[in-house]
Amino acid sequence: MTSTARITVHPSFVRGHIDRRIFGSFVEHLGRAVYTGIYEPGHPTADADGFRGDVAELTRELGTTVVRYPGGNFVSNYIWEDGVGPRDDRPSRIDLAWRTIEPNEIGTDEFVAWTKKTGTEPMMAVNLGTRGAAEAAALVEYCNTSGGTTWSELRRRNGYDEPHAIRLWCLGNEMDGPWQIGHKTADDYGKIASQAAQAMRRVDPTIEFVACGSSSREMDTFGEWERVVLEHTFDDVDYISVHAYYQERDGDRQSFLASGASFEAFMHEVIATADAVAARRHSDKRIRLSVDEWNVWYIDNFAGEDNLELLEQPRLIEDVYSTIDAVVVGDLLGTLLRNADRVAIACLAQLVNVIAPIMTEPGGEAWRQTTFYPIALLAQHASGVALDARSDSPRLVTAKHGEVDAVSTVVTWNADAGELVVGLTNRSTEPVEVTIDHVGFVDASLSDARAIVADHEGPRHTAESARAAEPQPLDGVSVRDAATTLTVPAESWSFLRIAARA
């Protein structure tokens, strides 16, 4: 017998307003993310500044909003001054994070120019590994002060008369990780992050800060890192970061498909810790999450033996995805949206070539990986508010995450557009009949219904094979005023657009 799930939504069950920055991404100086990724002078689609037009176009299609830069681990030994000014004068250096040669052909100014071309917002990280508050404040002055000071006049001499007006700043990256150059204890990091934020804010009082949370749930010892960091930085920062990567291990598909449950639990743990710090201060300030690295990630070819030879653009962490990865990515993004009340920013790590939805060949084509499709659909259509969907789902027991809902759901409602968007992930090996009671909505009709089914094929290496993973029309969806009914295939991610009025 087919199992059933029942979901109830109402226009007044508002969980939170969707901050468009949830559809962010990440470009690090790592492997081929920058060089032969976003930038490749001489490529047939390159513009006058050397940026690949095909990658820019796919970035827009993906619906990317903010883009974090320049790292990642890279930022912890980055000297930003190397990357500004006349290109001929810029040094080549060994990047200590990835042991590659950094030519510094692209730096802050060029990256900001690229964000303007792609209609995205830069999110800048500062080096708190080998450097500190003074260099970070100097970078804010270089970027955001209109003129009349040493650093701002340097920017103007470099050809950028108008300030870059960068609003979002990350105070370092994964400073808890022993792999990080200059990694610190929570106490030491908390102090330097607070100091840097205060100095940077004196340069530009309008900017926002992200403090580093722990670099994964496994690294997070009962919220201790976040607690100590926030005890130091609570008054200085707006967001705390969450980083989370998932992968299928030992053929355990159900645990992998249930990654979103662990992701959500991790986010709730960090929120609870932030609120506990607030409570100890009798503060009603709510620190929100910047989930500034999330994705599916398998390959681990960046450290040690396979990277002994110093190269300029090595093929590092170029994961090739299959359909099950696309299903999980759809569920992870749905999980972020479902928590829109506390998730302000999220960056898929990363945008191009490095664990990315967009791949390129130097001198050749750019294409969409399987994971591109659910992100683009949600970024293009999920807007307005996330609704608190009451869900009664069959349960599934997984080896890694215990008992979870077999069907996970996200529902967004845009009252202006008159559209409900529904994402449904069926983590189980059987189809599930789903009823969505949309109480309080009238004139409901179906605009679109598609699904990605996780087949048992492996990674899709070519543009053509990845395109075969494009979401396919989902038949048998019945929309009436009071309810929508459908059957979600086993191991799938489904996407519905329902026109309605509230």
Q: Name the site residues for ligand AHR (rule: CB under 6 A).
A: 28, 71-73, 173-174, 215, 293, 349-350
Nearest distance, CB of residue 212 and ligand AHR, angstroms: 9
Measured from the CB atom, is 141 or 174 closer to ligand AHR?
A: 174
Task: Please name the helix (run of DSSP H) or strand (run of DSSP E) that holds residue 201, with its range, or none.
Answer: helix 186-203
Measured from the CB atom, is 340 or 348 closer to ligand AHR?
A: 348
Q: Which residue has the tokens 């109830």?
A: 8
Instruction: Return phi, psi of residue 362, to 5°.
Output: -55, 130
Closest to 17 (Cα-Cα) out of 254, 340, 454, 443: 340
Nearest distance, CB of residue 457 and ligand AHR, angstroms: 26
Measured from the CB atom, is 171 or 421 closer to ligand AHR?
A: 171
Cβ(99)–Cβ(43) under 8 Å?
no
The Cα 243–Cα 293 span in angstroms is: 5
Residues 6+ apart with CB under 8 A from 108: 70, 80, 83, 84, 124, 139, 142, 143, 164
Nearest distance, CB of residue 241 and ligand AHR, angstroms: 9
Nearest distance, CB of residue 28 and ligand AHR, angstroms: 5
Cβ(159)–Cβ(109) under 8 Å?
yes
Q: Has 174 been annotated as catalytic?
A: yes
Nearest distance, CB of residue 36 and ligand AHR, angstroms: 17
The Cα 259–Cα 247 span in angstroms is: 8
The Cα 438–Cα 484 span in angstroms is: 8
Task: Please name the helix (run of DSSP H) or strand (run of DSSP E) that holds residue 379, with its range, or none.
Answer: helix 372-381
CA angle 257, 261, 264 (to 5 degrees): 135
Assign 174 to helix, strand or coil. coil
Task: Output the residue with the shortest Cβ distance to ligand AHR.
Answer: 72
Measured from the CB atom, is 295 or 408 closer to ligand AHR?
A: 295
- Residue among 121, 174, 248, 491 flagged as catalytic: 174
Cβ(121)–Cβ(65) under 8 Å?
yes
Six token digits for residue 131? 């450097």
Q: Has 135 been annotated as catalytic?
A: no
- Residue among 81, 293, 419, 491 flagged as catalytic: 293
Measured from the CB atom, is 317 or 432 closer to ligand AHR?
A: 317
Handedness of CA 300, 306, 311, 315 (dihedral sign): negative
Measured from the CB atom, is 28 or 121 closer to ligand AHR?
A: 28
Residues labelled catalytic: 174, 293
